[in-house]
Structure 1
Amino acid sequence: MKNLFLFAATLSVAVCASATDLDLKIAYYSKVITPEGVTREARYEDTMLRRAGHVWTMRVLPAHAAEHHDDQPGAHKHFNHVVLARHVVQEGGKTRIEFIDAHDKDVVAIPPSEYGNVSFDGSWDHAYYLLDSKRLKTMPLSSRPSAVAGARWREREDKGLFERVLWDDQRQIPLAIESGDKAGTFVNRVDITVQPGLTRDLPWQKLKGYSQKEFADFLD
């Protein structure tokens, strides 16, 4: 019986540990209404693999999107990080980011001084949880009902601005993030969908033979 309890405890720990490993689909939406009455909307989607020490994100591109490569001899190659795989790594308490060009088999390392040019704030917390987890804890629980078991809404309003997060406690991930102003001049929403199962063939384990490059290699 004692061994059975030990097995159950071990299994419980293993389940809790694996709960942080997630495959996600992330849908972004934003709307802005200008003072001139013009409404601008934007939508895009990413896929994300979240594992211990690794966050791998890729933009979902339309089927008709053509790849543009500077294949002509002497042509200067441009770096468009948006369409490349984004790999955030945490090792020894330090966070780094690199982009992977599967077409040219390049791994492009980004120095901290260039993080702003690739829309990265240097935070492992933001990359792994998709938000500031410490700030989340300061947000009061909301009375807004949740249709997802184990997920609860938190929200904050201040000076006409609002933040709302549907947080899944078990999987430690937001399922929805909303922000905007009460006047309705702008709104942002992120919907996160946990995919069934986990990818076993992890892309960062298949980079052997890729060239190692620096961000400076692509500067004019």
Structure 2
Amino acid sequence: MKHSSSVSRLLAAAASARPAEAAPQRPPEDKAPGLSLRLTHTSLSIGSDGVTRQTRYQDRMVRRANVVWLERELPPALAEHEAHAGPEHTGPHAGHAHDEARGAPLLLRRVGDEVQVQSVLRERRRVIDVEPAHQGNVGYGGSWAAAYWLIDPAALARMERLGRSGGVEHYRLRNGERTTLVDWDVRGQYARRIEQHDAHGLSRQLLTAEIIPTPAPLPWDALAGYGRGDYSDLLD
């Protein structure tokens, strides 16, 4: 459940761009509106062999003050198959809990300057604390800002502001042959759309976010009674 690679490249490229005027400031997490979003990731690339490769997947995100829940949305047929197969019969390494954790929901909490990362193994009714050395294995890319706002608002300060329409501010960054476009929802304080493409039409990455109903109860409130463990325990 990796975050879009376009976000990471955007942050790196924005660091060397010239600041724009009137860019949004990063709001405090405890003041940002609560959100439930469906995140759709798509990518297209054409290789030197002439083969076009496309990927698409969706995650569900729930955001509250200093808390983010991320969970992959499976197609109904696949979800039904996984439910009937059970954890001991799924995946290329059936029975290995650390492989199970790679696709499990993530619960992120910001406590002071630290981010606590937990992987939720529903079938085992366990919440796994993931140490920094292993957080990449479960899909956390290391950027709290990218998880919370989908892009760090500070990066927008180094992009060209194209204008505003319907409560959305539009930004562009050109870095060599790559262009990044961002639609920033001012009221909701998140990126509705992040697109990155090259000048030759050989690659394109797109992340879109749409509001969805908030689950009840909130996902982390449904974890009462779950056991606890450490990721290192799964490697034994």
TM-score (norm: length of structure 1)? 0.82
Q: CA deviation at 1:82?
A: 4.5
Structure-2 change in CA distance of 1:82 and 1:64 (3 Å):
farther
In the TM superposition, 1:1-220 aligns within 5 A as: 20-65=33-78, 66-67=81-82, 68-70=86-88, 76-142=96-162, 146=165, 149-195=166-212, 198-219=214-235
Structure-2 change in CA distance of 1:173 and 1:83 (3 Å):
same
Q: CA deviation at 1:176?
A: 0.6
Q: RMSD over aligned Cα, in angstroms?
A: 2.0
Which structure's CA Rg is the greater one? 1
Alignment check: 8 A CA contact 1:96 1:122 kept:
no
Structure-2 change in CA distance of 1:165 and 1:76 (3 Å):
closer
Alignment check: 8 A CA contact 1:107 1:210 kept:
yes
DSSP-derived class of the 1:116 partner: helix
Identical residues among aligned pairs (%): 30
DSSP-derived class of the 1:44 partner: strand
Separation (CA, whole Å) in 2 of partners of 1:49 and 1:204 = 10
Alignment check: 8 A CA contact 1:126 1:132 kept:
yes
Paired positions, count:
197
Alignment check: 8 A CA contact 1:59 1:82 kept:
no
Q: CA deviation at 1:90?
A: 0.8
Q: CA deviation at 1:169?
A: 1.0
Structure-2 change in CA distance of 1:83 and 1:116 (3 Å):
closer
TM-score (norm: length of structure 2)? 0.77
TM superposition outliers: structure 1 runs of 4+ over 6 Å: none
Unaligned 5+ segments in structure 1 are 1-16
Structure-2 change in CA distance of 1:39 and 1:110 (3 Å):
same
Which has the larger helix fraction?
2
Unaligned 5+ segments in structure 2 are 1-29, 90-94
